[in-house]
A and B are shown apart, each in its own frame.
Chain A
Protein backbone atom coordinates (compact mmCIF):
# COMPACT_ATOMS: atom_id res chain seq x y z
CA UNK A 1 0.00 0.00 0.00
CA UNK A 2 2.99 2.28 0.23
CA UNK A 3 3.05 4.92 -2.48
CA UNK A 4 6.20 6.59 -3.67
CA UNK A 5 6.47 10.36 -4.01
CA UNK A 6 6.31 11.17 -7.69
CA UNK A 7 8.44 14.17 -7.02
CA UNK A 8 11.95 13.46 -5.87
CA UNK A 9 13.39 16.34 -3.92
CA UNK A 10 16.70 15.62 -5.58
CA UNK A 11 15.12 16.46 -8.94
CA UNK A 12 14.27 20.00 -7.90
CA UNK A 13 17.02 22.60 -8.41
CA UNK A 14 18.73 24.09 -5.37
CA UNK A 15 16.92 27.22 -4.22
CA UNK A 16 19.88 29.35 -5.31
CA UNK A 17 18.96 28.74 -8.98
CA UNK A 18 15.47 30.30 -9.04
CA UNK A 19 16.40 32.88 -6.41
CA UNK A 20 19.22 34.35 -8.49
CA UNK A 21 16.74 35.00 -11.32
CA UNK A 22 14.11 36.43 -8.95
CA UNK A 23 16.57 38.70 -7.13
CA UNK A 24 18.13 40.01 -10.36
CA UNK A 25 14.80 41.01 -11.95
CA UNK A 26 14.14 44.08 -9.74
CA UNK A 27 17.59 45.44 -10.66
CA UNK A 28 16.52 45.72 -14.29
CA UNK A 29 13.25 47.30 -13.21
CA UNK A 30 15.29 49.80 -11.24
CA UNK A 31 17.43 50.48 -14.33
CA UNK A 32 14.23 51.07 -16.34
CA UNK A 33 13.04 53.53 -13.69
CA UNK A 34 16.37 55.37 -13.76
CA UNK A 35 16.17 55.59 -17.55
CA UNK A 36 12.73 57.21 -17.23
CA UNK A 37 13.96 59.52 -14.51
CA UNK A 38 16.97 60.68 -16.53
CA UNK A 39 15.41 60.50 -20.00
CA UNK A 40 12.22 62.33 -19.03
CA UNK A 41 9.74 63.02 -21.82
CA UNK A 42 12.09 61.68 -24.51
CA UNK A 43 11.28 58.11 -23.44
CA UNK A 44 7.56 58.51 -24.15
CA UNK A 45 8.05 60.86 -27.13
CA UNK A 46 7.84 57.98 -29.61
CA UNK A 47 7.58 54.21 -29.49
CA UNK A 48 10.63 54.16 -31.78
CA UNK A 49 12.83 56.40 -29.63
CA UNK A 50 16.07 54.80 -28.44
CA UNK A 51 15.18 55.19 -24.73
CA UNK A 52 11.69 53.71 -25.34
CA UNK A 53 13.21 50.63 -26.98
CA UNK A 54 15.82 50.33 -24.21
CA UNK A 55 13.13 50.72 -21.53
CA UNK A 56 10.85 48.13 -23.14
CA UNK A 57 13.62 45.53 -23.33
CA UNK A 58 14.84 46.21 -19.79
CA UNK A 59 11.33 45.38 -18.60
CA UNK A 60 10.46 42.53 -20.98
CA UNK A 61 13.80 40.73 -20.89
CA UNK A 62 15.35 42.02 -17.66
CA UNK A 63 12.26 41.65 -15.48
CA UNK A 64 9.62 39.48 -17.18
CA UNK A 65 11.84 36.95 -18.96
CA UNK A 66 14.26 36.82 -16.01
CA UNK A 67 11.48 35.82 -13.59
CA UNK A 68 9.75 33.52 -16.08
CA UNK A 69 12.97 31.63 -16.87
CA UNK A 70 13.72 31.15 -13.15
CA UNK A 71 10.15 30.07 -12.44
CA UNK A 72 10.11 27.51 -15.27
CA UNK A 73 13.41 25.96 -14.14
CA UNK A 74 11.92 25.62 -10.65
CA UNK A 75 8.41 24.53 -11.58
CA UNK A 76 9.13 21.86 -14.18
CA UNK A 77 10.12 19.11 -11.71
CA UNK A 78 7.21 20.07 -9.43
CA UNK A 79 4.33 20.39 -11.89
CA UNK A 80 5.58 18.06 -14.61
CA UNK A 81 7.83 15.65 -12.69
CA UNK A 82 10.48 16.35 -15.31
CA UNK A 83 13.72 17.97 -14.19
CA UNK A 84 15.67 20.34 -16.43
CA UNK A 85 18.89 18.62 -17.57
CA UNK A 86 21.98 19.78 -15.64
CA UNK A 87 19.91 22.52 -14.10
CA UNK A 88 22.69 24.04 -11.96
CA UNK A 89 24.99 24.51 -14.94
CA UNK A 90 22.35 25.44 -17.50
CA UNK A 91 20.40 27.69 -15.10
CA UNK A 92 23.61 29.42 -13.97
CA UNK A 93 24.69 30.02 -17.57
CA UNK A 94 21.29 31.32 -18.71
CA UNK A 95 21.23 33.72 -15.77
CA UNK A 96 24.76 34.94 -16.41
CA UNK A 97 24.14 35.44 -20.13
CA UNK A 98 20.95 37.39 -19.40
CA UNK A 99 22.83 39.54 -16.90
CA UNK A 100 25.30 40.44 -19.67
CA UNK A 101 22.93 40.48 -22.64
CA UNK A 102 20.11 42.68 -21.32
CA UNK A 103 22.31 45.69 -20.37
CA UNK A 104 24.20 45.26 -23.66
CA UNK A 105 20.92 45.42 -25.60
CA UNK A 106 19.76 48.49 -23.67
CA UNK A 107 23.20 50.04 -24.33
CA UNK A 108 22.91 49.19 -28.03
CA UNK A 109 19.56 50.97 -28.30
CA UNK A 110 20.80 54.01 -26.38
CA UNK A 111 24.12 54.41 -28.22
CA UNK A 112 23.22 52.97 -31.62
CA UNK A 113 26.56 51.19 -31.52
CA UNK A 114 26.68 48.04 -33.68
CA UNK A 115 29.27 46.46 -31.39
CA UNK A 116 26.94 46.67 -28.39
CA UNK A 117 24.18 45.16 -30.51
CA UNK A 118 26.46 42.32 -31.66
CA UNK A 119 27.44 41.60 -28.04
CA UNK A 120 23.79 41.67 -26.97
CA UNK A 121 22.73 39.36 -29.80
CA UNK A 122 25.51 36.93 -28.95
CA UNK A 123 24.75 36.83 -25.21
CA UNK A 124 20.94 36.83 -25.50
CA UNK A 125 21.01 34.41 -28.43
CA UNK A 126 23.14 32.00 -26.37
CA UNK A 127 20.99 32.49 -23.24
CA UNK A 128 17.69 31.78 -24.94
CA UNK A 129 19.02 28.99 -27.19
CA UNK A 130 20.29 27.21 -24.09
CA UNK A 131 17.06 27.91 -22.19
CA UNK A 132 14.79 26.72 -25.01
CA UNK A 133 16.98 23.62 -25.46
CA UNK A 134 17.07 22.45 -21.82
CA UNK A 135 13.49 23.41 -20.99
CA UNK A 136 12.36 21.95 -24.34
CA UNK A 137 14.04 18.63 -23.45
CA UNK A 138 12.38 18.61 -20.02
CA UNK A 139 8.96 19.39 -21.53
CA UNK A 140 9.45 16.81 -24.28
CA UNK A 141 10.19 14.11 -21.70
CA UNK A 142 6.91 14.56 -19.85
CA UNK A 143 4.92 11.41 -20.50
CA UNK A 144 1.58 12.51 -19.04
CA UNK A 145 1.44 16.24 -19.77
CA UNK A 146 -0.85 18.28 -17.53
CA UNK A 147 -2.68 21.34 -18.83
CA UNK A 148 0.03 23.52 -17.27
CA UNK A 149 2.65 21.62 -19.27
CA UNK A 150 0.56 22.25 -22.41
CA UNK A 151 0.65 25.98 -21.64
CA UNK A 152 4.39 25.85 -21.03
CA UNK A 153 4.99 24.07 -24.34
CA UNK A 154 2.94 26.65 -26.24
CA UNK A 155 4.71 29.51 -24.41
CA UNK A 156 8.14 28.08 -25.18
CA UNK A 157 7.28 27.77 -28.87
CA UNK A 158 6.03 31.39 -28.81
CA UNK A 159 9.31 32.45 -27.18
CA UNK A 160 11.22 30.80 -30.01
CA UNK A 161 9.18 32.70 -32.62
CA UNK A 162 9.61 35.97 -30.67
CA UNK A 163 13.38 35.48 -30.55
CA UNK A 164 13.67 34.64 -34.24
CA UNK A 165 11.73 37.78 -35.20
CA UNK A 166 13.72 39.85 -32.69
CA UNK A 167 16.99 38.53 -34.11
CA UNK A 168 15.78 39.34 -37.63
CA UNK A 169 14.93 42.93 -36.59
CA UNK A 170 18.24 43.34 -34.72
CA UNK A 171 20.14 42.07 -37.78
CA UNK A 172 18.37 44.77 -39.78
CA UNK A 173 19.38 47.41 -37.23
CA UNK A 174 23.08 46.56 -37.51
CA UNK A 175 22.87 46.43 -41.30
CA UNK A 176 23.37 42.67 -41.68
CA UNK A 177 20.30 42.53 -43.93
CA UNK A 178 17.38 44.68 -44.93
CA UNK A 179 14.02 44.41 -43.18
CA UNK A 180 11.30 45.12 -45.75
CA UNK A 181 8.49 46.16 -43.39
CA UNK A 182 9.88 46.95 -39.92
CA UNK A 183 6.45 48.05 -38.64
CA UNK A 184 4.87 44.71 -39.49
CA UNK A 185 7.77 42.73 -38.02
CA UNK A 186 7.92 44.86 -34.86
CA UNK A 187 4.20 44.26 -34.33
CA UNK A 188 4.74 40.52 -34.80
CA UNK A 189 7.69 40.56 -32.37
CA UNK A 190 5.73 42.49 -29.75
CA UNK A 191 2.59 40.38 -29.98
CA UNK A 192 4.36 37.03 -30.07
CA UNK A 193 6.36 38.15 -27.02
CA UNK A 194 3.55 39.59 -24.91
CA UNK A 195 0.47 37.68 -26.10
CA UNK A 196 2.42 34.49 -26.85
CA UNK A 197 5.37 33.89 -24.53
CA UNK A 198 4.15 35.95 -21.56
CA UNK A 199 0.40 35.41 -21.99
CA UNK A 200 0.43 31.68 -22.73
CA UNK A 201 2.78 31.02 -19.81
CA UNK A 202 0.59 33.13 -17.53
CA UNK A 203 -2.46 31.11 -18.56
CA UNK A 204 -0.69 27.75 -18.14
CA UNK A 205 0.83 28.63 -14.78
CA UNK A 206 -2.46 30.12 -13.53
CA UNK A 207 -4.11 26.69 -13.81
CA UNK A 208 -1.65 25.60 -11.12
CA UNK A 209 -0.95 28.61 -8.91
CA UNK A 210 -4.37 30.27 -8.67
CA UNK A 211 -6.21 27.27 -7.12
CA UNK A 212 -3.12 26.45 -5.03
CA UNK A 213 -2.22 29.86 -3.62
CA UNK A 214 -5.58 31.68 -3.69
CA UNK A 215 -7.70 28.66 -2.67
CA UNK A 216 -10.07 28.93 -5.64
CA UNK A 217 -11.88 26.16 -7.52
CA UNK A 218 -10.05 24.72 -10.53
CA UNK A 219 -10.30 26.39 -13.96
CA UNK A 220 -13.01 24.73 -16.09
CA UNK A 221 -11.76 21.64 -17.89
CA UNK A 222 -12.68 22.94 -21.36
CA UNK A 223 -10.57 26.02 -20.77
CA UNK A 224 -7.58 24.06 -19.46
CA UNK A 225 -7.82 21.64 -22.36
CA UNK A 226 -8.18 24.04 -25.28
CA UNK A 227 -7.05 27.54 -24.35
CA UNK A 228 -3.25 27.38 -24.73
CA UNK A 229 -3.37 25.40 -27.98
CA UNK A 230 -6.10 27.65 -29.37
CA UNK A 231 -4.13 30.78 -28.44
CA UNK A 232 -1.05 29.46 -30.19
CA UNK A 233 -3.05 28.59 -33.32
CA UNK A 234 -4.51 32.15 -33.38
CA UNK A 235 -1.04 33.69 -33.17
CA UNK A 236 0.30 31.37 -35.89
CA UNK A 237 -2.62 32.17 -38.21
CA UNK A 238 -2.12 35.88 -37.58
CA UNK A 239 1.55 35.57 -38.52
CA UNK A 240 0.85 33.55 -41.68
CA UNK A 241 -2.06 35.72 -42.84
CA UNK A 242 -0.11 38.91 -42.09
CA UNK A 243 2.79 37.74 -44.24
CA UNK A 244 0.54 36.33 -46.96
CA UNK A 245 -1.51 39.53 -47.16
CA UNK A 246 1.39 41.30 -48.83
CA UNK A 247 1.77 38.69 -51.54
CA UNK A 248 -1.81 37.53 -52.11
CA UNK A 249 -4.74 39.90 -52.28
CA UNK A 250 -6.54 39.10 -49.01
CA UNK A 251 -9.54 41.07 -47.70
CA UNK A 252 -8.27 43.77 -45.36
CA UNK A 253 -10.15 42.40 -42.32
CA UNK A 254 -8.86 38.83 -42.65
CA UNK A 255 -5.27 39.10 -41.29
CA UNK A 256 -6.49 40.80 -38.10
CA UNK A 257 -9.23 38.23 -37.44
CA UNK A 258 -7.10 35.70 -35.50
CA UNK A 259 -5.86 38.53 -33.26
CA UNK A 260 -9.48 39.45 -32.49
CA UNK A 261 -10.20 35.82 -31.63
CA UNK A 262 -7.15 35.75 -29.38
CA UNK A 263 -8.30 38.98 -27.70
CA UNK A 264 -11.72 37.40 -27.05
CA UNK A 265 -9.96 34.31 -25.68
CA UNK A 266 -7.98 36.43 -23.24
CA UNK A 267 -11.13 38.31 -22.22
CA UNK A 268 -12.80 34.98 -21.49
CA UNK A 269 -9.78 33.83 -19.47
CA UNK A 270 -9.87 36.98 -17.34
CA UNK A 271 -13.65 36.75 -16.80
CA UNK A 272 -13.27 33.13 -15.67
CA UNK A 273 -10.32 34.11 -13.42
CA UNK A 274 -12.41 36.87 -11.79
CA UNK A 275 -15.28 34.42 -11.21
CA UNK A 276 -12.88 31.92 -9.62
CA UNK A 277 -11.40 34.64 -7.41
CA UNK A 278 -14.92 35.66 -6.37
CA UNK A 279 -15.51 32.04 -5.29
CA UNK A 280 -12.26 31.65 -3.36
CA UNK A 281 -12.74 29.86 -0.09
CA UNK A 282 -10.66 32.20 2.01
CA UNK A 283 -11.89 35.72 1.54
CA UNK A 284 -8.91 37.54 2.93
CA UNK A 285 -7.33 40.13 0.67
CA UNK A 286 -3.59 39.55 0.27
CA UNK A 287 -0.93 41.50 -1.66
CA UNK A 288 -0.64 38.82 -4.33
CA UNK A 289 -4.37 39.07 -4.96
CA UNK A 290 -4.14 42.86 -5.31
CA UNK A 291 -1.54 42.36 -8.06
CA UNK A 292 -3.84 39.83 -9.77
CA UNK A 293 -6.75 42.29 -9.76
CA UNK A 294 -4.55 45.10 -11.08
CA UNK A 295 -3.10 42.85 -13.80
CA UNK A 296 -6.59 41.82 -14.92
CA UNK A 297 -7.86 45.44 -14.90
CA UNK A 298 -4.94 46.62 -17.06
CA UNK A 299 -5.24 43.67 -19.46
CA UNK A 300 -8.98 44.25 -19.89
CA UNK A 301 -8.31 47.97 -20.48
CA UNK A 302 -5.79 46.97 -23.20
CA UNK A 303 -8.40 44.69 -24.80
CA UNK A 304 -10.99 47.49 -24.74
CA UNK A 305 -8.49 49.86 -26.35
CA UNK A 306 -7.83 47.24 -29.01
CA UNK A 307 -11.57 46.70 -29.56
CA UNK A 308 -12.09 50.45 -29.74
CA UNK A 309 -9.71 50.60 -32.65
CA UNK A 310 -6.96 52.34 -30.75
CA UNK A 311 -4.39 49.90 -31.97
CA UNK A 312 -4.65 48.70 -35.55
CA UNK A 313 -5.84 51.85 -37.37
CA UNK A 314 -3.29 53.91 -35.52
CA UNK A 315 -0.45 51.43 -35.78
CA UNK A 316 1.65 53.68 -37.99
CA UNK A 317 1.56 56.36 -35.35
CA UNK A 318 4.50 56.46 -33.00
CA UNK A 319 2.77 58.11 -30.06
CA UNK A 320 -0.59 58.14 -28.31
CA UNK A 321 -2.67 54.98 -28.22
CA UNK A 322 -0.02 52.46 -29.42
CA UNK A 323 2.21 53.68 -26.59
CA UNK A 324 -0.70 53.52 -24.16
CA UNK A 325 -1.32 49.95 -25.33
CA UNK A 326 2.31 49.16 -24.50
CA UNK A 327 1.95 50.72 -21.03
CA UNK A 328 -1.21 48.71 -20.34
CA UNK A 329 0.17 45.38 -21.56
CA UNK A 330 3.54 45.77 -19.83
CA UNK A 331 1.89 47.10 -16.67
CA UNK A 332 -0.42 44.10 -16.63
CA UNK A 333 2.31 41.49 -17.24
CA UNK A 334 4.58 43.05 -14.59
CA UNK A 335 1.68 43.05 -12.13
CA UNK A 336 1.00 39.32 -12.57
CA UNK A 337 4.70 38.49 -12.27
CA UNK A 338 5.08 40.68 -9.19
CA UNK A 339 2.08 39.03 -7.54
CA UNK A 340 3.37 35.53 -8.28
CA UNK A 341 6.80 36.40 -6.85
CA UNK A 342 5.16 37.19 -3.51
CA UNK A 343 3.76 33.67 -3.36
CA UNK A 344 6.53 31.67 -4.98
CA UNK A 345 9.59 33.12 -3.18
CA UNK A 346 8.30 32.78 0.43
CA UNK A 347 6.82 29.35 -0.34
CA UNK A 348 10.04 28.04 -1.89
CA UNK A 349 12.07 29.37 1.03
CA UNK A 350 9.74 27.77 3.57
CA UNK A 351 9.69 24.47 1.68
CA UNK A 352 13.48 24.24 1.39
CA UNK A 353 13.82 25.05 5.12
CA UNK A 354 11.29 22.35 5.96
CA UNK A 355 13.19 19.88 3.83
CA UNK A 356 16.50 20.76 5.52
CA UNK A 357 14.94 20.50 8.96
CA UNK A 358 13.71 16.98 8.30
CA UNK A 359 17.05 16.00 6.78
CA UNK A 360 19.00 17.37 9.77
CA UNK A 361 16.42 16.20 12.34
CA UNK A 362 16.86 19.50 14.13
CA UNK A 363 13.33 20.01 15.39
CA UNK A 364 14.35 22.55 18.05
CA UNK A 365 14.32 25.38 15.47
CA UNK A 366 10.91 26.90 14.82
CA UNK A 367 10.66 27.67 11.11
CA UNK A 368 9.18 31.01 10.02
CA UNK A 369 6.03 30.56 7.93
CA UNK A 370 5.35 32.41 4.68
CA UNK A 371 3.83 35.46 6.34
CA UNK A 372 6.73 35.67 8.78
CA UNK A 373 9.20 35.42 5.91
CA UNK A 374 7.44 38.26 4.12
CA UNK A 375 4.90 40.25 6.18
CA UNK A 376 1.90 41.43 4.14
CA UNK A 377 2.40 45.06 5.17
CA UNK A 378 5.72 45.24 3.27
CA UNK A 379 4.28 43.65 0.16
CA UNK A 380 1.25 45.95 0.39
CA UNK A 381 3.49 48.99 0.53
CA UNK A 382 5.23 47.89 -2.66
CA UNK A 383 1.87 47.23 -4.33
CA UNK A 384 0.76 50.83 -3.71
CA UNK A 385 4.09 52.16 -5.06
CA UNK A 386 3.56 50.04 -8.18
CA UNK A 387 -0.04 51.21 -8.50
CA UNK A 388 1.12 54.83 -8.29
CA UNK A 389 3.76 54.14 -10.99
CA UNK A 390 1.06 52.68 -13.26
CA UNK A 391 -1.22 55.69 -12.71
CA UNK A 392 1.68 58.00 -13.54
CA UNK A 393 2.52 55.99 -16.69
CA UNK A 394 -1.04 56.03 -18.12
CA UNK A 395 -1.09 59.72 -19.17
CA UNK A 396 2.61 59.68 -20.14
CA UNK A 397 2.04 58.72 -23.82
CA UNK A 398 -0.10 61.85 -24.25
CA UNK A 399 1.83 64.28 -22.04
CA UNK A 400 5.36 62.87 -21.92
CA UNK A 401 7.05 65.98 -20.56
CA UNK A 402 4.69 66.37 -17.61
CA UNK A 403 4.74 62.96 -15.94
CA UNK A 404 7.68 60.90 -17.25
CA UNK A 405 10.08 61.87 -14.46
CA UNK A 406 7.47 61.33 -11.75
CA UNK A 407 6.70 57.96 -13.32
CA UNK A 408 10.45 57.12 -13.33
CA UNK A 409 10.70 58.01 -9.65
CA UNK A 410 7.75 55.77 -8.77
CA UNK A 411 9.05 52.89 -10.91
CA UNK A 412 12.40 53.17 -9.07
CA UNK A 413 10.62 53.20 -5.71
CA UNK A 414 8.45 50.21 -6.62
CA UNK A 415 11.35 48.04 -7.78
CA UNK A 416 13.54 49.10 -4.84
CA UNK A 417 10.79 47.97 -2.48
CA UNK A 418 10.37 44.72 -4.42
CA UNK A 419 14.12 44.08 -4.20
CA UNK A 420 14.14 44.88 -0.50
CA UNK A 421 11.16 42.54 0.13
CA UNK A 422 12.73 39.65 -1.76
CA UNK A 423 16.09 40.23 -0.05
CA UNK A 424 14.28 40.21 3.29
CA UNK A 425 13.02 36.70 2.53
CA UNK A 426 16.47 35.56 1.36
CA UNK A 427 18.18 36.94 4.48
CA UNK A 428 15.60 35.33 6.79
CA UNK A 429 16.02 32.06 4.88
CA UNK A 430 19.79 32.09 5.31
CA UNK A 431 19.58 33.01 8.98
CA UNK A 432 17.14 30.13 9.66
CA UNK A 433 19.27 27.74 7.63
CA UNK A 434 22.31 28.71 9.72
CA UNK A 435 20.35 27.97 12.90
CA UNK A 436 19.30 24.58 11.50
CA UNK A 437 22.93 23.73 10.80
CA UNK A 438 24.10 24.91 14.22
CA UNK A 439 24.90 22.10 16.72
CA UNK A 440 21.78 20.92 18.56
CA UNK A 441 22.04 21.82 22.28
CA UNK A 442 22.11 18.67 24.35
Chain B
Protein backbone atom coordinates (compact mmCIF):
# COMPACT_ATOMS: atom_id res chain seq x y z
CA UNK B 1 0.00 0.00 0.00
CA UNK B 2 1.27 3.44 -0.87
CA UNK B 3 1.83 6.02 1.85
CA UNK B 4 2.50 9.62 0.79
CA UNK B 5 4.48 12.22 2.73
CA UNK B 6 4.82 15.79 1.49
CA UNK B 7 7.87 17.51 2.99
CA UNK B 8 8.26 20.12 0.26
CA UNK B 9 7.32 23.05 2.52
CA UNK B 10 9.51 22.09 5.47
CA UNK B 11 12.84 23.50 6.61
CA UNK B 12 15.83 21.25 7.43
CA UNK B 13 16.03 19.03 9.41
CA UNK B 14 12.25 18.38 9.37
CA UNK B 15 12.10 16.63 5.94
CA UNK B 16 14.68 14.09 7.11
CA UNK B 17 13.08 13.74 10.54
CA UNK B 18 9.57 13.24 9.17
CA UNK B 19 10.77 10.74 6.55
CA UNK B 20 12.67 8.66 9.10
CA UNK B 21 9.63 8.72 11.41
CA UNK B 22 7.34 7.67 8.56
CA UNK B 23 9.45 4.73 7.38
CA UNK B 24 9.63 3.39 10.94
CA UNK B 25 5.83 2.95 10.80
CA UNK B 26 5.67 1.16 7.42
CA UNK B 27 3.72 -2.11 7.63
CA UNK B 28 4.71 -5.16 5.52
CA UNK B 29 3.80 -4.48 1.88
CA UNK B 30 3.79 -0.72 2.41
CA UNK B 31 6.06 1.71 0.62
CA UNK B 32 6.48 5.43 1.12
CA UNK B 33 6.38 8.13 -1.53
CA UNK B 34 8.08 11.31 -0.32
CA UNK B 35 7.40 14.58 -2.16
CA UNK B 36 10.42 16.85 -1.85
CA UNK B 37 11.46 20.12 -3.45
CA UNK B 38 15.16 19.09 -3.63
CA UNK B 39 17.08 15.88 -4.20
CA UNK B 40 17.73 14.85 -0.56
CA UNK B 41 21.26 13.48 -0.90
CA UNK B 42 21.75 13.32 2.85
CA UNK B 43 18.66 11.14 3.31
CA UNK B 44 19.89 8.28 1.14
CA UNK B 45 22.80 7.03 3.27
CA UNK B 46 20.55 7.21 6.34
CA UNK B 47 17.91 5.10 4.55
CA UNK B 48 20.46 2.47 3.55
CA UNK B 49 21.87 2.46 7.07
CA UNK B 50 18.35 1.87 8.43
CA UNK B 51 17.78 -1.06 6.03
CA UNK B 52 15.63 0.57 3.36
CA UNK B 53 15.82 0.74 -0.44
CA UNK B 54 15.00 3.91 -2.32
CA UNK B 55 14.57 5.34 -5.77
CA UNK B 56 14.57 9.07 -6.49
CA UNK B 57 13.18 10.61 -9.66
CA UNK B 58 12.78 14.20 -10.79
CA UNK B 59 9.19 15.23 -11.37
CA UNK B 60 5.84 15.64 -9.68
CA UNK B 61 4.38 18.83 -8.30
CA UNK B 62 7.05 19.27 -5.62
CA UNK B 63 10.07 18.65 -7.86
CA UNK B 64 11.32 15.24 -6.65
CA UNK B 65 9.64 11.95 -5.75
CA UNK B 66 11.40 9.42 -3.55
CA UNK B 67 10.06 5.86 -3.26
CA UNK B 68 11.17 4.02 -0.10
CA UNK B 69 10.58 0.40 0.99
CA UNK B 70 12.13 -2.14 3.34
CA UNK B 71 15.03 -4.12 1.88
CA UNK B 72 13.41 -7.51 2.53
CA UNK B 73 9.85 -6.53 1.54
CA UNK B 74 9.26 -7.98 -1.95
CA UNK B 75 5.58 -6.97 -2.03
CA UNK B 76 6.44 -3.33 -1.26
CA UNK B 77 9.17 -3.39 -3.90
CA UNK B 78 6.72 -4.66 -6.53
CA UNK B 79 4.19 -1.98 -5.50
CA UNK B 80 6.75 0.79 -5.72
CA UNK B 81 8.02 -0.62 -9.04
CA UNK B 82 4.49 -0.56 -10.55
CA UNK B 83 3.99 2.98 -9.29
CA UNK B 84 7.31 4.05 -10.80
CA UNK B 85 6.37 2.68 -14.21
CA UNK B 86 3.04 4.54 -14.21
Contacts and interface: CB of A to CB of B under 8 A. Distances in A.
Do the two chains belong together in a single complex? Answer: yes
Contact of B56 (A3, A215, A281, A363): A3
B44 A3 contact: yes
A369 interface: yes
B25 interface: no
B9 interface: yes
B55 A1 contact: yes
A7 interface: yes
Contact of B11 (A5, A213, A359): A213
B45 A7 contact: yes
A359 B50 CA distance: 8
B86 interface: no
A143 interface: no
A351 B54 CA distance: 19
A233 B13 CA distance: 37
Interface string A188-217: 000000000000000000000001111100
Contacts, number: 73
A1 B11 contact: no
B17 interface: yes
B1 interface: no
A358 interface: yes
B13 A351 contact: yes
- Give the interface size bracket for B toward A: 20 to 34
A212 B12 contact: yes
B9 A78 contact: no
Contact of A7 (B37, B38, B41, B50): B41
A355 interface: yes
B41 A2 contact: no
Q: Which are the 8 A-B pairs with shortest beta-carbon distances? A: A5-B44, A5-B45, A358-B49, A9-B45, A2-B53, A350-B13, A7-B41, A281-B9
14 contacts: A1-B53, A4-B44, A7-B41, A7-B42, A7-B45, A78-B42, A213-B12, A215-B10, A282-B10, A343-B12, A354-B16, A354-B46, A355-B45, A358-B46
Interface of A: 1-9, 78, 211-215, 281-282, 343, 347, 350-351, 354-355, 358-359, 363, 369-370
